[in-house]
Structure 1
Amino acid sequence: MTRYEQQRNFLKSNFHEFKHIKTDKIKGIAQPPIVKSFDSKSPIIDLPKASKNVVRKGSIFDCIEQRRSTRFYSADTLSLEELSYLLWATQGITGISKNGLTLRTVPCSGATHTLETYLMIMRVEGVRQGIYRYLPVEHKLLFMFELDQLEQKIDAITLDQPFVPNFARKASVLFAWSTTPYRSEWKYDISAHKKILIDVGHVCQNLYLASESIGAGACAIGIYDQKLIDEVLELDGDEEFVIYLGAVGKKRE
């Protein structure tokens, strides 16, 4: 069992060790930005306001009961309204606290919000194929660039999936969540990394339930080519890197 020991210890609470650490926050170092900056001159898509009108299945009980990892998708596109809803459900801002923290649709450790949402869009009505980033404060989509042979790139990124090979390329959208760890390290030091993984789990579960509610299906992907996905999204792989993927598409009958 010794070869598992380090990773098992990572899963445990290290509060007693953490409480003796002087974090960067305690040292008075300025908090890092909780959202990534962008060039305002870049092409930006205004998303429709998230609306319950796209919801087909209004019972949370039914969504929880019927949620499954979906790897077979129809050729139907997602609408921009549906994509807006999925982005809102996974990282949407629903308010601002008295001390200026963003309140979102998912819980986050200490409101540090280390995650960014990137999208590889294949089939969304009225949106060209390409790479995008969600801007949660503005609730807009930032167009980053087109990518030649997008579906083939997704095949390479998602490697050999154990159940249905190459399923991700047939989705409408591939969500890619990156983390900027220092946003949490600033406040939680060595305790940050477990919290980051917990936070992204909350996000992906909301994607599952929101997808189920609109008649779409989602499938989380934890097997991927780290170097390639970071390169494709133009991330440095150190200060920011991808930690989870999720494919979404309309279910095949």
Structure 2
Amino acid sequence: MKFPATADPGTGQEFMEKTKYRYIGRSDQQKGLPQPPLEIPADPEKPVIDLPRPAFLDIPPLSLRIAIGQRQSIRMYAHEPMTLDELSFLLWCTQGVKQIHGPQVTFRTVPSAGARHAFETSLLINDVEGLTPGLYRYLALSHRLQQIDTDPTLPHRITGACFDQQFILRSGVVFLWTAVPYRMTWRYGERGYRDLHLDAGHVCQNLYLAAEAVGCGVCAIAAFDDDAMNELLGIDGENQFLIYLATAGKK
């Protein structure tokens, strides 16, 4: 099927063209440069909270076929807090580390191009038992949370930066996945930016399916003001940027 030609290719077309393999050249890995760290180090000044260990969580069994059949975007949530066990389970299902091979690679619960796993997970906690509302970081290598900011205006500012999608405020938690592109481009060059977006889909689908097992609903969000959200998260938008987010809460 042919579509009307445009005089000048759009940004999206240019992105797809310039990330073709013929433009990539030698990667930094091929040049012998050291790889970036597997995780941004925790802030030594911020409190850290141990999460319930995934192996000991009592999660109701649910067949994959049923989870896939039930999966849908949910924007209305019950006035019921999520439990810390449920949050721990959802974090493990979306970025949980199964194996660590020294400083080189992690194998996780989601696929990632070349096992690069270029994402960091932030959380806006609205209503989770035992947690003060606010902004947190998931420390995937140790399966812990770090409290970042408990400013009570944050939920409203994040909602505003997502074009006032009010269901954000009604959710139990908002997952905010940020990309550290050099973890991916170190191996794949500019092609790695394509892989980041593919990986985001893997992560969010795991959230949708895992949430079904704990009676939660999820809604992915791609509509947000990039610059405003990066500023709220305290990241520069270049070496680290928000790539995707999703709400979750009790059905």
Fold-level match, TM-score > 0.5? yes
- Pairing 1:48–2:48 present: no
Among 33, 38, 42, which residue is 2:37 paired with? Answer: 33
The answer for the alignment partner of 2:210 in structure 1 is 210
Match for residue 195 of structure 1?
Answer: 195
8 Å Cα contact 2:124/2:155 also seen in 1: no
* Residue segments in structure 2 that go unaligned for 5+ positions in a row: none
Identity over aligned residues, as a percent?
A: 39
Structural mapping, 1:53-92, within 5 Å: 53-92=57-96
String of CA shifts for 1:81-105, please: whole Å, max 9, x gaps.
0000000000000113589421000
Hey, what does 1:249 align to over in structure 2? 249
* Residue in 2 that maps onto 1:143: 147
Amino acid at match of 2:170: K
* 1:158 corresponds to: 162
Q: What is the DSSP-based 3-state SS (H/G/I as helix, E as strand, rest coil) of the residue aligned with 2:166?
A: coil
CA contact (8 A) 2:27 2:186 kept: yes
Following the alignment from structure 1 to structure 2, what is the Cα–Cα distance between the partners of residues 217 and 125?
17
Which letter does structure 2 place at the counterpart of 1:60?
A: L
- 2:230 maps to which residue? 230
Q: Deviations over 1:161-214 (max 9, x none)?
A: xxxx41111000011100111111111111110000001110000010011111
The residue matched to 2:206 in structure 1 has which SS? helix
Q: Structure 1 residue 9: deviation in Å?
A: 6.0
Say which is worse superposed, 1-10 or 117-126, in terms of deviation.
1-10
Residue 34 of structure 2 aligns to a residue in which SS?
Answer: coil
- 1: distance between equivalents of 2:73 and 2:141? 29
Q: Is the 8 A contact 1:54 1:214 kept in 2?
A: no
Residues 37 and 103 in structure 2, CA contact (< 8 A), matched pair in contact too:
no
Q: Distance in 1 between matches of 2:79 and 2:55?
A: 24
Normalising by structure 1, we get a TM-score of 0.90
- Per the TM alignment, residue 8 of structure 1 is displaced from its structure 2 partner at its CA by 4.0
Q: Which amino acid aligns with 2:79?
A: A
**TM-score normalised over the length of structure 2:** 0.91
* Contact 1:154–1:169, Cα closer than 8 Å, also in 2: no
- Asked whether the equivalents of residues 57 and 89 of structure 2 are also in contact (C-alpha less than 8 Å), the reply is no
Match status 1:15 vs 2:21: yes
Q: Which moved more, 1:31-40 or 1:192-201?
A: 31-40
Deviation at 1:40, TM superposition (A): 3.3
Which residue of 118, 124, 134 corresponds with 2:128? Answer: 124
User: Is 2:226–2:242's contact at 8 Å kept on the other side of the alignment?
Assistant: yes
Shift of 1:27: 0.9
Cα distance in structure 2, aligned partners of 1:32 and 1:238: 15
* C-alpha separation in 2, matches of 1:104 and 1:65: 25
Deviation of the 1:152 alpha carbon: 1.6
The DSSP-based 3-state class of the residue aligned with 1:95 is strand
Asked whether the 8 Å contact 2:204–2:246 carries over to 1, the reply is yes
Number of residues of Structure 1 aligned to a counterpart in Structure 2: 245
Where do 5+ consecutive residues of structure 1 fail to align? none
2 CA distance for matches of 1:14 and 1:105?
28
Distance 2:101 2:144 in 1: 22
